[in-house]
Structure 1
């Protein structure tokens, strides 16, 4: 299967749809509960009055909508990777890996704010990677600041992706405080108008309270069912093999590619560690890790030598996702 997706064949789009369907049809059949979708954080409650289209009711409808979103994001991510030549050759592996990882846990299968924020992460990466060849990044930094603010309105932990903007400016360009300031101004612009709207609705106190979760202490432990750790075993193995492969080829790559993977690693760390801001804790937060992880996985599978090993490893990952996700313990 991996070998088939290594080529940039338009027929792979159909196979992506098949894999997306297979990885979700079981949950649609066994789940009887209704699901709801909280579109926005409390910061946007005065702006948005969720209607029935945001709360589809049936799990099947919710998963169908989430599947459409995942499919679109997979194609966008694949275009991003090929456009910036991150893997050295055109391929459909990023789309395959994203669809696979987006089905890792049951909470990943339904609409959620982190899933929508992945659109913003992909859009941000398009602009961040362009810093390397840009003569002036102030306008792009301003746009990115606004994008991060919009992401914060949808999902509060997204605020920490402002660190990704700062790191990108340091990695790709000579340090210029004006460019960082442009990002800050872009971020503040959105919340300035939002604060004015809250003030006009005599709800300024609510606007202040939305920032209180940022003071949450980092948890000492995370309560996750044991089978969730089991499904992560192939994920950890593939990720470890990817970092080994990256280390072997790191200095053989172009400077822009090396810097891009450094930024992806920073994005992965930010997405992984910002979960504590959102209480109560939900596994769907880690959907934010799917974008950088998909690129890392693609790099390993594209350059792995032993076909029987990497094909078996991917098959193990896919089977474990289906088994542990669709069986109740």
Structure 2
């Protein structure tokens, strides 16, 4: 299957749709009677004064989530090919994104982190454009606004503001105006939110928005470890990706090397930012799927032993289908 998607063919979108359904069949057969969908933070509910949590039936919820995942997969694929991150056109990023977004059952339904992945992909388009940009002030300003909008939808997204400054440090010589532009973009969105709070007589509660940032990083998290055995092939593939990256790192173009550095940092940011959102929910980690899909693609596009990498991917598919019968 991996070899089939190594070739860039737009018709692969149809096979992606079939695979997306197949990877969710186990959960479709046991979907709960109700699925809650919350797409803005409580502090932003003033902007959306309607009841929407259970507006979709479970079947429609999963269908819409699948459509979003398929659209995001195509966008990730276009991003990787546009910036030539894998050295040749391929459909592997789309395949890997569809696969990773089926790892856990909470990934398969509509959620705020899933919607934020559109913003994350949009950010990556702009962040990777820093390399050839003479003046990045307007781009940094737009990125600040994107992070602010993402924070309204899902508050841990606020930490991706760090990705703006890190990308500027990686791709551009220091220019304080560009660094400040990101702040101004973020403040612009929350300034209008503050005005909205003021007009509704709730300005005193506006400052409570930032309270989660003072949360302590948890010393331990209660999880069912057997439910996470599906991550074993994921960890193996990530380890093999680092081996391949180390072998080819200095053979790549400077832009590609810097892009993978940024992607790794964004992977860490999205993975570690879960703690500001209580209670702990596994659907947060779907934010990691975008950079992880690029990492997986890099390994598979550079792997040479066909029987091994095809078997490894097949093991991942089997693990996903088997373990999705569990609930989290």
Q: Please tell me the TM-score bracket, short chain as reference.
A: over 0.9
TM-score, length basis structure 2: 0.98
Instruction: Report SS of the residue matched to 2:84.
Output: coil
Deviation at 1:28, TM superposition (A): 1.3
Rounded to whole Å, the distance in 1 between the matches of 2:281 and 2:125 is: 28
Closer/same/farther in 2, CA of residues 328 and 155 from structure 1, 3 Å limit: closer
Rounded to whole Å, the distance in 2 between the matches of 1:180 and 1:20 is: 40
Match of 1:19 in 2: 19
Match of 1:5 in 2: 5
Deviation at 1:107, TM superposition (A): 0.6
Deviations along 1:73-108, whole A, 9 cap, x unmatched?
Answer: 000010000000000000000000000000100110
Is 1:209 the counterpart of 2:203? The answer is: no
Give the 4+ runs in structure 1 shifted more than 6 A: none
Match of 2:112 in 1: 113
Contact 1:7 1:92 in 2 (8 A): yes
Match of 1:184 in 2: 183
Deviations along 1:248-301, whole A, 9 cap, x unmatched?
Answer: 100000000000000000000000100000000100000010000000000000
Match of 2:253 in 1: 254
Match of 1:39 in 2: 39
Rounded to whole Å, the distance in 1 between the matches of 2:293 and 2:241 is: 11
Contact 1:8 1:91 in 2 (8 A): yes
Instruction: Report SS of the residue matched to 2:38.
Output: coil
Is 1:77 the counterpart of 2:73? The answer is: no
**Aligned length in residues:** 328
Rounded to whole Å, the distance in 1 between the matches of 2:14 and 2:307 is: 24
Q: How does 1:47-86 map to 2 (within 5 A)?
A: 47-52=47-52, 55-86=54-85
Deviation at 1:26, TM superposition (A): 2.2
TM-score, length basis structure 1: 0.97
Rounded to whole Å, the distance in 1 between the matches of 2:131 and 2:90 is: 23
Contact 2:105 2:327 in 1 (8 A): no
> What's the RMSD between the two structures over aligned residues?
1.2
Deviation at 1:184, TM superposition (A): 0.3
